[in-house]
Amino acid sequence: MALKSSKIILALLSDGVPRSFREIVRESGLSERVVEGALRRLCLKGLVLRTEEPIRKRNRVFKGRAGIRSNLRSYHLYVLKPKDKDSIEIKGLKFVKVEKRKDKGVSKAKLILKFLEDNKDQAFYSKEIAEALRDKGVSPQDVMSNVRRFEKKGLVYVRGYNTHGRQTPFRDGYLITWIDQNKPRDHALAEAIERTEKALSKREDSMPILRRVRQIRDLLIEATELKDIVSFDYIKNRLDCSDYEAQQAIERAMQLYPDIKEVRVFNIFRYYYLDSMAEEELRKAIRRKEEYIRVVKSRENRIGHNWEACVEFFIDNFTVGAKFWTQEHRSKMDPRRITIHLIKPVRGRKMNAEVDRVWEVTPGPLLKPTIYVLECKYGLIRKEDIDDFFEVLRWSKEFGVDTPEGRRVKQGVIGVFAGKAFNPKEKIRLKDERLVSLPEYAARMNIQLLKASDFNQKLREKGCPLSVTVQKICKIARDEVEVREILQDIWQNPKKAQETLEKVARKNEEIFELEKYLAAKEARRVHLLEQKRLLKSVY
């Protein structure tokens, strides 16, 4: 078989055209293992020449929903050796004979393995191992290629961030430690994990992300002891960092510690816990959080929904030919709030997501309609909000499409993000190191920004006094229906706008008093719970 495969390859190369290993496999019909062995024998016998230096080529492959993936491929070309020459040049590539490897003494693999075994009471980053063995010829790329083979044999434990279906390194590479072969496997593996924990804790000062990860872990261990779950806002406040930094730290913590789980209360509010918590205790904790949200968040929800209705009113009145989408819901949710389907999870949303309004505008009888998708937030708009909205549109079945360049938002779909305000001083650094404002950043994604001051300007143009604002309307209205009624009355009688607001405020005084009472009651409950926690920690 070896002789037959060699003859097939020699016959294939007899035309003098250089071929790569993959091309030889494809054209010869032989398996990769057979071609590899035959080529090695032919090269060592001097019958086949190989390129002096490997060719490096970057490949870009379209992976459908995953987008474009690129990798750097290194390979050699092979050609039949002329009878009177030991080297030739073809199209600028030099082909030479392959020399037998000389015995260089101890291999790099043995050096790395011996280093880990001699220091089996410690864990090292891959960069540290390369640095320690640099004088013996070990480079950073030598470390992981050999360590992965040791891992398959069960000799070492490798730790990194665990993402979906793969593992990514820390800033200084993967964390590696020896697994003692003389101890029971479970016990030896537990010791190896403990050594990596110690190594991670030593790097907390130089790596803020690891310090935050450790703090999150400690918070969740404490919460598990108290049979409680921890909200995203609580974690952010304890870490004393921004939303983006807290989100990044939580993602890293979940990658580093698979027992950290996320649960969405009312499919909106994010809470975290350890999977060691008993199922019954978890259900009780979720019920407590639902009660808390109903009490404390009721005002925020009311104002948030009123803001959606307020934005809708202005769009309906100032957009010629706007046709809103409607959708029937089992609950009492507004029919103009649309549920869309996701083909890939987006930040906790697994199969579905909600957008606040969708409407179409047809510019002409023979032209395709332009679809506008609205997202509302009664608060400060940040870069993270824009990114989240864009990802929902991109990965939705209704508004996204697969292209050769990856997943994109369909042509003719425009996102509209309406918020109370955005920070005009916030700057976003692009890939080309250029700084742009938030509106410019949103415009690059074909997303338009609307803010409360834009709607207030329309009220001023209509003749309403300065004291009448959309913010006040959202705060005093009972629900979305009343928002529309207030705006309609103001639009018809702008001079009596202030009287209209005062009348509605008097009518809804009971709602405001109830919200204040419930908020104060919940604050007292939380205060008592914190006192119990402190007492438990002391005793």
Residues 449, 316 within the same domain: yes
Residues 422, 363 within the same domain: yes
Structural domain includes residue 372: yes
Residues 189, 80 within the same domain: no
Structural domain includes residue 89: yes
Ramachandran angles phi, psi of 53, nearest 5°: -120, 145
> What CA–CA distances, in Å, run from 108 to 103, 104, 114, 130?
12, 10, 10, 11
Structural domain includes residue 522: no
- Give the side-chain half-sphere CA count within 13 A for 448: 9
Residues 320, 279 within the same domain: no
- Quote the pLDDT of residue 50: 92
For residues 396 and 351, the answer to whether their CB atoms sit within 8 Å is no
- Quote the pLDDT of residue 124: 93
Residues 379, 230 within the same domain: no
- Quote the pLDDT of residue 238: 87
> What CA–CA distances, in Å, run from 399 to 46, 87, 367, 415?
60, 58, 18, 10
Helix (H, G, I), strand (E, B) or coil at 484: helix
Last residue of one domain, picked from the residues 249, 269, 296: 296
Q: SS3 sequence, 265-293?
A: ECCCEEEEEECCCCHHHHHHHHHHHHHHH
Structural domain includes residue 101: no
Q: SS3 sequence, 116-175?
A: HHHCCCCEEEHHHHHHHCHHHCCCHHHHHHHHHHHHHCCCEEEECEEECCEEECECCECE
Residues linked to residue 352 through DSSP beta bridges, in sequence order: 341
Residues 26, 53 within the same domain: yes
Give the domain CATH number at 156.
1.10.10.10
Closest Cα to residue 108, out of 125, 124, 132? Answer: 132
State the DSSP H helix or E strand holding residue 428, giving kind and residue range, or none if neither: strand 427-429
- Quote the pLDDT of residue 23: 92
- The single-letter DSSP state of residue 396 is B
Residues 407, 464 within the same domain: yes
- Quote the pLDDT of residue 528: 66
- Quote the pLDDT of residue 357: 92
Give the strand pairing for 156-159 and 175-178.
antiparallel
- CA dist., res. 12 & res. 79, Å (int): 10
Residues 330, 278 within the same domain: no
Give how many domains the chain has, as a whole number.
Answer: 4
Residues 367, 418 within the same domain: yes
Per-residue tens of pLDDT for the chain, all 539 residues: 556 888 888 889 988 899 999 999 999 889 888 998 889 888 888 889 999 888 888 777 666 655 666 777 788 999 998 888 888 888 889 999 887 765 556 788 899 999 999 999 999 999 999 999 999 888 888 898 899 989 988 999 999 887 766 788 888 889 999 999 989 999 999 899 899 988 888 776 667 888 888 899 999 998 888 889 999 988 988 888 877 788 889 998 998 898 999 998 877 788 999 999 999 999 988 888 887 776 666 777 788 888 999 999 999 888 888 899 999 877 777 888 899 999 988 877 778 888 999 999 988 777 888 999 999 988 888 888 899 999 999 999 999 999 888 899 999 999 999 998 887 778 888 877 788 888 899 998 999 999 999 999 999 998 999 989 999 999 888 888 899 999 999 999 998 999 999 988 888 887 667 666 666 666 666 666 666 666 655 54
State the DSSP H helix or E strand holding residue 427, giving kind and residue range, or none if neither: strand 427-429
Give the amino acid at 158: V
Last residue of one domain, picked from the residues 96, 131, 164: 96
Instruction: Tell me the torsion sign for CA atoms 209, 215, 221, 223.
Output: negative
Range of the domain at 135: 108-202
Ramachandran angles phi, psi of 521, nearest 5°: -65, -45
Q: Token digits for 160?
A: 């990194």
Q: Which letter, b or e, does each residue of 119-133 get, where b requires 16 or more Cβ atoms within 10 Å of its Cβ?
A: ebeebbbbbbbbeeb
For residues 79 and 90, the answer to whether their CB atoms sit within 8 Å is yes
Last residue of one domain, picked from the residues 51, 76, 96: 96
For residues 160 and 167, the answer to whether their CB atoms sit within 8 Å is yes
- Quote the pLDDT of residue 409: 93
Q: If you count DSSP H runs as helices and E runs as strands, how many of each does the chain have, helices first?
A: 19, 26
Helix (H, G, I), strand (E, B) or coil at 50: strand
Q: Which letter, b or e, does each residue of 36-50 get, where b requires 16 or more Cβ atoms within 10 Å of its Cβ?
A: ebbbebbbeeeebbb
Whose tokens are 């042509």? That residue is: 411
For residues 228 and 283, the answer to whether their CB atoms sit within 8 Å is no
Residues 128, 255 within the same domain: no
Structural domain includes residue 457: yes
State the DSSP H helix or E strand holding residue 390, giving kind and residue range, or none if neither: helix 383-394
Give the amino acid at 173: G
Residues 266, 222 within the same domain: yes
Residues 310, 443 within the same domain: yes
- CA dist., res. 28 & res. 50, Å (int): 18
- Quote the pLDDT of residue 360: 93
Helix (H, G, I), strand (E, B) or coil at 241: coil
- Quote the pLDDT of residue 220: 92
DSSP 16-48: ---EEHHHHHHHH---HHHHHHHHHHHHHTTSE
- CA dist., res. 127 & res. 104, Å (int): 23
- CA dist., res. 123 & res. 172, Å (int): 13
- Quote the pLDDT of residue 102: 58
- Quote the pLDDT of residue 479: 85
